[in-house]
Amino acid sequence: MASSEGAARLEAMNLSGISNESLLGRALRSPFRLIPASAAVPILQGPLRGRRWIVGSATHGCWLGSYEFETQKAFAGLVRSGDVVYDLGANVGFYSLLGARLAGDAGMVYSFEPLPRNLGYLRKHVAMNRLKNCFVIEAAVADFEGEMRFESSDEPTTAHLSAGGDVAVRVVRLDSLVERGEIRPPNVMKIDVECSEVKALEGAVETIEKFRPRILLATHNRELHADCVEFLKRRGYRVEMLTELALSGAELVAWP
């Protein structure tokens, strides 16, 4: 069952939904150019209202509180007080901050992120908000442990594992971390790992089968989407689509 408390706290206007191609959208965004990229400002609305955010770390929708508006609502409906949340592909930490607030002091968020640029902002966001229940793990997640090349990008949200990548990163397998007791088993997994989603799931197969976490998953093409859905359904999950399936994939929630 979704967390009605978490969903209820997402009382916000979807400012990010106003197109920047429209006159209104351009007028609303025009003042943003005056805000220094290094400025740390309070998030204006939603369940993260009042948390501090570095303006230039990501899209303005983050500090406006309307970033990925529908996905935010879905995530808020998954996380309950006391939950352990895995944020795979944490980027600069929006969902890590959200998970930490929703899970509360009794919960824990493990934020997995391999890209140095994103890690810098992620750690700053955790520190400036004095989060005691968010643990950053500098690594990509896949179905093996070791090292692999990571292809960074001018757009930090699209960086991904690639044999020809320009950065060497640590790679971890979730099953191994859980087996060794390095991280607590999950209640919720948010997975947005830019074309490595099947590898992330396969590397957590024992954990998923044993602990049955609720899963928010972004897929990044039709083939990967089909493989992820098959993986989840074989393990008794019910899949709900959040967005329509496109060439670039889709977002879904999987319930055990």
pLDDT, tens only, 41-91: 999 999 999 999 999 999 889 999 999 999 999 999 999 999 999 999 999
Instruction: Judge whether residue 239 has pLDDT over 50.
Output: yes
Assess if residue 4 is contained within a domain. no
What are the two backbone dihedrals, phi and then psi, of residue 215, each rounded to the nearest 5 degrees?
-130, 130
Higher pLDDT, 18 or 50: 50
Question: pTM for the full model?
Answer: 0.85
CATH number for the domain spanning 220: value is 3.40.50.150
- What is the pLDDT confidence band of residue 154, given thresholds at 50, 70 and 90? low
Cβ contact 175:199 at 8 Å: no
Give the full edge-to-edge strand order of the sheet including 134-137: 134-137, 108-112, 84-88, 188-191, 214-218, 251-255, 238-241
Count of domains observed in the chain: 1
Please state at what angle helix 69-76 crosses helix 94-103, rounded to 10 degrees: 30
CA gap 227, 219 in Å, rounded: 10
> Domain residues for 202?
68-255
Q: Beta 140-141 vs 108-112: how paired, if at all?
A: unpaired
